[in-house]
Chain A
Amino acid sequence: MAAPTVAASLDASIYAPGALMILTVNYADVDNQTFTVTVTVRDVAGNVSAPVSVQAVIMDPVSIAVADSSGRMWTLVRDNGTVAVYTANA
């Protein structure tokens, strides 16, 4: 299984004390795969049923962790499954 992909950016590189900091995280996992299972039934007489197929997805959900070396608390304000936005005060 492959590692998730993640790209993150801050809305600025320099902040005044107390200013709002916005962190945007774009993430994905390439391991999510759709597969199909096809079933047929055969009896002893050699009769074969019509094939029946079902699809499913192997999920490998991604979690995001945010840590700040200065101890600032980052608060998740939204997450749509591919983009997460956090804020903190400088």
Chain B
Amino acid sequence: MPNVAVTAYDLTGNLTKVVLPYTVTAPSRMWPDATNTGVPAGTVLTNSSGLLNITVAGTVIEARNHSGGIVVNAPNVTIKRSRIRSTSPFVLIQNNSTELLIIDCEIDGMNSNTNGISPRNVLVRRCNIHHVENGLNVGGPTIVEDSYIHDLFSGNGGHSDGAQFNQGASDITFRHNNIFGGNTATIIMWDGSGSQNANVLIENNRLDGTASSYTIYTPRTGPLTNVRIRNNRFVRAAFGYNGGNQSLVTEWSGNVNDVTGAPV
């Protein structure tokens, strides 16, 4: 059991020490999956369909079984405990405003070349995202936590990823997600030239590259600002763990093989 020790000491060398043990629950037993993401069991859903254009600030979409895309054009919108299904050609949920919360939702692209959520100012928590080409198309500030991204669609020449970061996208956090990569990767950061991703934190995720070329792609060109990838559990992809230039990232630490625990 880990502990934190606090020591108080004065100029004359006297000291007092307190030790506090704590427990961090084993991540392998807690990874997001179909049982703990998406619409909670017992939720009664109301059917709706068509392109949903939200224009009123503070709108709450709750307990919907919605067939069609959602475009958010108002701030502080919440979408929760809902199933969103669509073969919308570009994105199922698109935020054009600020502070969109998507919580306890299932997002199903029904095997289409679409993005699940795009592009910025979004907090995603406990969502089950699947059968899209890319789970998230990240263009700006985004937080994704406790979510399950899997069974991505790679048909029609698609390059599928759990998440892809656009050029220059910044302020991005992925924490404690279970991501099964598409045919490219679980997460692919911007790998071209020009403005790079910044202020990125990818930690405590399970990143499964079984179906991918590389488990993750960090950028190939720099300079990078505050890009941290730490304490993740990796499943190796066909060609390796990282298709990017790992030496460019600010921090790469504590990452291990999910099966063996060996450092990655």
Residues in A lying within 8 Å of B, measured CB to CB: 1-10, 12-18, 21, 23, 25, 27, 29, 31, 60-70, 72, 74, 88-90
Contact = CB atoms under 8 A, between A and B. Distances in A.
Given A60-B10, A68-B3, 8 more contacts: A1-B12, A3-B8, A8-B18, A8-B20, A29-B10, A31-B12, A64-B8, A70-B2
Contact of A67 (B4, B11, B30): B4
A69 B22 CA distance: 10
B5 A4 contact: no
B16 A23 contact: no
Interface size class of B (residues with CB under 8 A): 20 to 34
Contacts of A6: 6-8, 16-18
Contacts of B11: 60-61
Contacts, number: 113
Nearest to B205: A18
Nearest to B11: A60
Top 6 A-B residue pairs of the complex, sorted by shortest distance between their CB atoms:
A70-B2, A6-B8, A3-B14, A4-B8, A18-B204, A8-B6
Interface in B1-52: 2-12, 14-18, 20-25, 27, 30
Contact of B9 (A16, A62, A70): A62
B64 interface: no
A21 B4 CA distance: 11
Contact of B16 (A3, A15, A66, A67): A3
Nearest to A15: B24
A65 B17 CA distance: 9
Contact of A61 (B10, B16, B20): B10
Contacts of A13: 21-23
B176 interface: yes
Contact of A18 (B14, B18, B175): B175
B76 to A, nearest CB: 23
B150 to A, nearest CB: 19
